[in-house]
């Protein structure tokens, strides 16, 4: 998926290349990568950041509010109004993981990378809340 900040510059609309859902049988997160994105490593990263956004919503409301303020500014500056805060966040975090410095607030990037880190643990109760509120948009 094109990075959120580069979408307008390249005059391209978003294409859905993956999805994240809850598997009804196992209760686990399920990430599907569709053919247009299966060979693009940032697509999987972006889908994982949808889960990270859910964790942030539950565990760190202040970081979530900071992300929402950032997204509102993006919308004021002409960003695609059909792109949710979560979608914009996930796309920009995928870009961050690929080494691109984005306009996301540094505190958001730092916390999101911490959640994504293999050294981080997330309380089971937070994961259960994320799952209970899936899908989430905002």
pLDDT of residue 30: 73
Checking phi first, is residue 11 left (phi over 0); if not, alpha (psi -120 to 50) or beta?
A: left
For residue range 6-27, list pLDDT tens digits in order: 444 444 555 666 777 777 787 7
DSSP secondary structure string, 37-93? GTT-HHHHHHHHHHHHHHHHHHH-HHHHHHHHHHHHHHHHTT--TTS-HHHHHHHHH
What pTM did the predictor assign?
A: 0.76
Q: Domain locations in the chain?
A: 4-132
For residue range 42-66, list pLDDT tens digits in order: 777 888 898 999 999 999 999 999 9
Instruction: Classify residue 104 by its DSSP letter.
Output: S
């Amino acid at each position: 998926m094109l990075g959120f900040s580069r979408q307008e510059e390249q005059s391209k609309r978003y294409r859905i290349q993956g999805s994240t859902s809850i598997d009804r049988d196992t209760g686990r997160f399920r990430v599907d990568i569709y053919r247009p994105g299966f060979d693009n490593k940032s697509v999987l990263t972006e889908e994982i950041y949808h889960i990270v956004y859910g964790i942030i919503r539950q565990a760190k409301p202040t970081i979530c509010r900071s992300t929402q303020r950032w997204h509102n500014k993006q919308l004021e500056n002409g960003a695609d109004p059909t792109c949710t805060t979560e979608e914009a966040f996930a796309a920009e975090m995928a870009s961050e993981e690929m080494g691109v410095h984005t306009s996301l607030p540094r505190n958001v990037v730092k916390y999101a990378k911490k959640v994504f880190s293999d050294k981080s643990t997330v309380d089971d109760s937070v994961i259960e809340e994320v799952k209970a509120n899936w899908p989430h948009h905002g």
